[in-house]
Amino acid sequence: MLQQVYGEYGLKERTVFKWVQSFWEGPEDPKDDARSGHPSTSSGNENIDYVRSLLLSDHRLTVRMTAEELGLGKSSIHTILMEHLEMKKVCAKTVPKLLTPEQNLQRKECCVDWKTSEKSSEFLERVITGDESWIYEYDIELKSQSREWKPKDLPRLKK
């Protein structure tokens, strides 16, 4: 019947008989059959240990950087980090610096003292003004640049 419907592309009768016979004799679950190719070893203990040691040396490594270092896929590295090492990537939490009333009073007194002193006029004569550009003594770190891998049970860092 298969050959009548599919012609030369249909399965031969002998092939169907072999399949039926192997079904009745062997295991019914096709997942138990041996497969060609080599098993996946990307999540092996050696790679897990290597990823752990890389993260201990630098918590700010990205999945891409780790994958390039190991020569594995990004999804394999992500699986190792999330499932085997149970880590997550967190950003540092920014905490605003609030001054106490005593600190505010001290700052006010310092400004008043400086303004009334004789040195303030000399100082203001030496100030050179320019455009409105801001210059920092350090590079400001973006929130995304402060992301680190931490175990799930540890709290976030505070900046």
Residue 129 inside a domain? The answer is no
Residue 121 inside a domain? The answer is no
86 sits in the region (left: phi over 0; alpha: psi -120 to 50; else beta) called left
| Full residue range of the structural domain in which residue 17 is found | 2-32
Mean confidence (pLDDT) of the chain: 76
Distance of alpha carbon 92 from alpha carbon 156, whole angstroms: 6
The predicted-structure confidence for 16-63, as pLDDT tens digits, reads as follows 888 888 888 876 665 656 666 655 666 678 888 888 888 888 888 888
Burial of residue 43, with CB atoms counted within 10 A of its CB: 0-12 exposed, 13-18 middle, 19 or more buried: middle
Residue 8 inside a domain? The answer is yes
Q: How many folded domains does the chain comprise?
A: 1
Residue 41 inside a domain? The answer is no
Q: Name the token pair of 141.
A: 């770190």
Is the pLDDT at 101 greater than 70? The verdict is yes
Residue 100 pLDDT: 82
Residue 103 inside a domain? The answer is no
The predicted-structure confidence for 121-145, as pLDDT tens digits, reads as follows 666 666 666 555 555 555 566 666 7
More confident residue, 2 or 56: 56
pTM of the model: 0.43
Residue 63 inside a domain? The answer is no
